[in-house]
Chain A
């Protein structure tokens, strides 16, 4: 996020795209409702009528996968209404002419037609956003989990730069990070192409720095991404995998391919707190300590690095993942001994510039620090891009519509969309073991529009066989107007309905993010 979570409550216009905020980021949703109470306007872009969409002043219920045409139409209207921030564009950005030329070639009626939203509504939203002094865009996986995910995000950036809605407090572009430390895992260089602090592995200068610090030679070739590994197939290049606290056997798309890959590995090592679907296939399983049994830091969505404190000693003979890695490294002949996690953080501060001032003794004494925090005296950064962007000038990249990889047809007439529910978390490894949470939501429900349900003779509670070109699952129907006609929606938390057996493994070529939000499926009622 370029802003802090609390800033959202002070915005005048909040544009939310592809985020089921009330269920997946309850605290962020709270700030949105606070803002509405103060008189802010809420625009929601979502094919589904989520709870947040019900509170929206304008709900743009687009067809799945038509984010780019919608954003382009909004930008064209902003140009036509003369609402672009010319001074900001002149001083802070580049390549504006490419965007402007593309927008002027746009046929607005045709573009609105692709999105399925009336042009008047798009125009109202565009003007509302552009005229605001303090406007934030919050987006989530509904934007990124498409084959054109990178271009979707770029289009949001175009919109924000066109109107100058960055660089200020209460104004910016805020991707909401799904998991407690997904921000930190990226910051720490758990990425195939980057060392900690986003320093590319194929730049000699950075590589030399890490080679000197670690006392060994390092490879300058970027590695394989998650899906290139888990979908490499039974004869793939990957022969052994080490998986720490992840459950690809439930979370990855097109699970049959993942299973074929993992089952045919020469070695699968998993470290986790429960025997997950993935751990059950492993050759070696390490019992890991939970968050209550170890010390360290998490980085939240607003870049705030906060303490995780040990409350009890590890259960049984569990060890923290950190200790497991150190022990393994020791056995393999590379000395990796640290007295404490605070000492590991000192090494991070030395090598990762954005964490340069992060030390446990500092973070201990406050509510955490937000990166970039360059040195011990730096107070951290609550919002980004004041005066300049990381790369210098903001670069406009015009994007055009790209249809989803798999569109509905006669055999598979419905669009399947997947997501999360309030009471469960990711693959449910932790939440499914909690009796209170299971009491509230213990099974996956397939949301079906009433019109489709009437045609198929479906009622809430009926069982449905849901199938795609890749696999099928049996799931209980829930008839609701939350989903549009022709679309169905369910969650991926439950192994009983391993919905990722069905999902498409088509992915964005740049971000390698799979298209979870659009798969073509067929529904059949199962008669008891």
Chain B
């Protein structure tokens, strides 16, 4: 059982929130008392932030469309298929045919890696995210 301080994943306020873990499950959330934004307060989304984490609908294995259906496959198969197809399309379209959407919900490091991947490997600047939506 432990409480870990992290940053809320909802709006741009960026509250400091503690996640309460018990036997490998996140079962509660409460605000940081001294965090400059949250100051011992959370909105309703923050108080209930733990509820989606263990939801049974969470994706837990890679899926590949086979004969029209998304079918569970290994990471190796999913990654190899994706890499092969991305390479083919990149080369066939002279680096013009691929587009990437990054995420305003992912971390800075992940956004950095994805734009690096897009520019250095896919050889395009076609990358954007939902900042305007």
Contacts and interface: CB of A to CB of B under 8 A. Distances in A.
Interface string A1-26: 00011100000000000000000111
B11 A423 contact: no
A267 B87 CA distance: 11
Interface string B71-111: 00001001111110111010011011111111111111111
A398 interface: no
A317 B133 contact: no
B51 A188 contact: no
A184 B11 contact: no
Contacts, number: 414
Contacts of A305: 108
Interface in A211-225: 214, 216-219, 221-225
Given A192-B127, A237-B97, A241-B100, A300 B14 contact: yes
Contacts of A431: 10, 45, 52
Contacts of B109: 296-297, 322, 341, 344-345, 348
B101 A243 contact: yes
B114 to A, nearest CB: 5
Chain A CB count within 10 A is highest, among B53, B75, B93, for B53
Nearest to A322: B110
A288 B119 CA distance: 22
Main secondary structure on B side of the interface with A: mixed
A190 B127 contact: yes
A279 B58 CA distance: 12
Contacts of B47: 436
23 contacts: A27-B38, A27-B43, A30-B41, A180-B7, A181-B107, A186-B129, A192-B127, A193-B125, A210-B119, A218-B119, A229-B126, A240-B85, A273-B52, A284-B64, A290-B9, A307-B7, A317-B62, A325-B113, A328-B83, A331-B80, A332-B87, A344-B109, A422-B45
Interface of B: 2, 4-16, 19, 21, 24-26, 34-38, 41, 43-45, 47-48, 50-55, 57-65, 70, 75, 78-83, 85-87, 89, 92-93, 95-133
Given A246-B129, A251-B130, A287-B63, 4 more contacts: A184-B107, A216-B120, A306-B7, A307-B7
